[in-house]
C-alpha cells in the first residue's frame, strides 16, 4: 500500500474523468459523466448543485466509499484504485478527514473520546491521542466541553467536535458533507466561520458539499454541478490574500 507523506507536492485531492453509472434492468443512468475536479493545497472549495446533480455520488467516490465506473480519484497523487479496502480505510484515518451532516459521534463517548478515536485507530498511544484531542478541541472553541457527551452539546457544538475529529489526524484535506444542513442559522454560520478560520490558520484544504449559496460563499471557489458534470466555477473570495495563500 502506498500513501504519500504530508510533504508530498501533489494536489490533496483530484478527480479525473469520473464516470459513475447505475443499471436497473436495461436502463443505465449516469450519476457522474466525465467529471474533473482538482483541489489545490490550502484551498477551500464548495460544491453545489440541485438534487440529483451527482454531489453525493461524487463525495462517496472522493473519500473511497464507492468505486467509479471509469476515471480516477487521487489523494496526494495516489490513485485510490491501487488501494484495497484496508488501504482505503487507512487513508481515511490518516489523510482524508470527513465531516458528516449528522455529526456521526458515538453517543456514549465524551467529546474528547470521540476526537481520540481516529488517532487510536491509527495506532497512537493513549497519551498522544489524549493530548492531541484536547488541543484540537481547544482550537475549535470547546476546551470547556471535553467531558460532555453528544447529547449534552448543542448542534453547533456537536459539529465542532466532528470537525475536531476530522482535523486531529492532520489530514491533507477535509471533506465536509452539508456540515450546516442540520443546524440553525446562527450555529451554521459559526461552523462555517470555524472552517474558514481553520483553513486559513492551519492551511488544511477543505471540500464542502452544500445546497446553500450563503454557505458556499465562504469558500475560495464555488463549483456548480448539473447532470453529473461541472457546469460553472466562481471565485467569490478572489482577494489578494487568497491569491497569496494559494501561492504559499
Over the stretch 164-190, which tens digit does the pLDDT of each residue have? Answer: 999 999 999 999 999 998 888 899 999
CB burial string 38-75: b at 16+ within 10 A, e below:
ebebbbbbbbbbeeebbbbbbbbbbbbeeebbebebbb
Q: Is the pLDDT score of 4 beyond 80?
A: no
Average pLDDT estimate for 188-216: 92
Domain around 116: 106-169
Residues in Cβ contact with 158 at an 8 Å cutoff, skipping those fewer than 6 apart: 103, 105, 150
Residue 55 has pLDDT above 60, yes or no: yes
Number of domains in the chain: 1
State how far the Cα of 214 lies from the Cα of 218, in Å rounded to an integer.
7
Q: What is the reported pTM? A: 0.87
- Give the pLDDT score at 242: 41
Bridge partners, residue 187, by sequence: none
- Taking the C-alpha atoms of residue 60 and residue 57, their distance in angstroms, rounded to an integer, is 5
pLDDT tens per residue across span 233-243: 999 865 434 43
Q: Is pLDDT above 70 for 56?
A: yes
Q: What is the pLDDT averaged over residues 14-31? A: 92
Q: Encode pLDDT of 103-145 as tens digits.
A: 999 999 999 999 999 999 888 999 999 999 999 999 999 999 9
- Read off the pLDDT of each residue in 11-29 and give the average, rounded to a whole number: 92
Q: What is the mean pLDDT of the chain?
A: 89
> Does 140 map to a domain?
yes
Compute the distance between CA of residue 71 and CA of residue 37 in angstroms, rounded to an integer. Answer: 12
pLDDT at 61: 96
Q: pLDDT: is 52 or 19 the higher one?
A: 19
Place of cell 481516529: 118
> Given this model, what pLDDT does residue 26 score?
84
Q: What percent of the chain is modeled with pLDDT above 90?
A: 77
| pLDDT of 62 above 90 | yes
Strand-pair partners of 39:
13
* Mean per-residue pLDDT, 77-105: 92
Judge whether 158 lies within some domain. Answer: yes
Judge whether residue 244 has pLDDT over 70.
Answer: no
Residue 147, in any domain of the structure: yes
Distance CA 213, CA 203 (A): 23
Residue 191 above 60 pLDDT?
Answer: yes
Residue 85 lies in a domain: no
Q: Give me the pLDDT at residue 24, please.
A: 85
Within a domain: 165: yes
Amino acid at each position: 500500500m502506498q500513501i504519500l507523506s504530508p510533504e508530498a507536492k501533489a494536489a490533496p485531492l483530484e478527480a479525473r474523468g469520473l464516470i459513475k453509472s447505475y443499471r436497473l434492468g436495461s436502463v443505465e443512468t449516469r450519476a457522474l459523466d466525465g467529471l474533473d475536479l482538482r483541489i489545490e493545497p490550502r484551498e477551500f472549495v464548495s460544491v453545489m448543485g440541485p438534487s440529483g446533480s451527482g454531489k453525493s455520488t461524487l463525495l462517496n467516490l472522493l473519500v473511497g466509499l464507492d468505486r467509479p465506473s471509469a476515471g480516477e480519484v487521487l489523494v496526494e497523487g495516489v490513485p485510490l484504485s491501487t488501494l484495497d479496502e484496508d488501504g482505503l480505510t487507512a487513508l481515511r484515518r490518516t489523510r482524508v478527514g470527513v465531516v458528516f451532516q449528522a455529526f456521526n459521534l458515538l453517543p456514549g463517548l465524551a467529546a474528547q473520546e470521540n476526537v481520540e478515536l481516529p488517532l487510536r485507530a491509527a495506532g497512537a498511544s493513549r497519551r498522544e491521542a489524549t493530548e492531541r484531542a484536547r488541543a484540537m478541541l481547544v482550537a475549535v472553541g470547546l476546551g470547556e466541553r471535553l467531558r460532555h457527551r453528544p447529547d449534552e452539546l448543542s448542534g453547533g457544538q456537536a459539529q465542532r467536535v466532528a470537525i475536531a475529529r476530522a482535523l486531529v489526524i492532520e489530514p491533507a484535506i477535509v471533506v465536509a458533507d452539508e456540515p450546516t444542513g442540520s443546524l440553525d442559522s446562527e450555529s451554521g454560520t459559526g461552523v462555517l466561520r470555524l472552517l474558514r478560520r481553520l483553513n486559513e490558520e492551519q492551511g488544511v484544504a477543505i471540500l464542502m458539499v452544500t445546497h446553500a449559496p450563503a454557505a458556499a460563499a465562504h469558500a475560495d471557489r464555488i463549483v456548480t454541478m448539473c447532470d453529473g458534470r461541472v457546469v460553472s466555477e466562481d471565485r467569490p473570495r478572489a482577494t489578494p490574500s487568497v491569491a497569496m495563500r494559494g501561492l504559499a
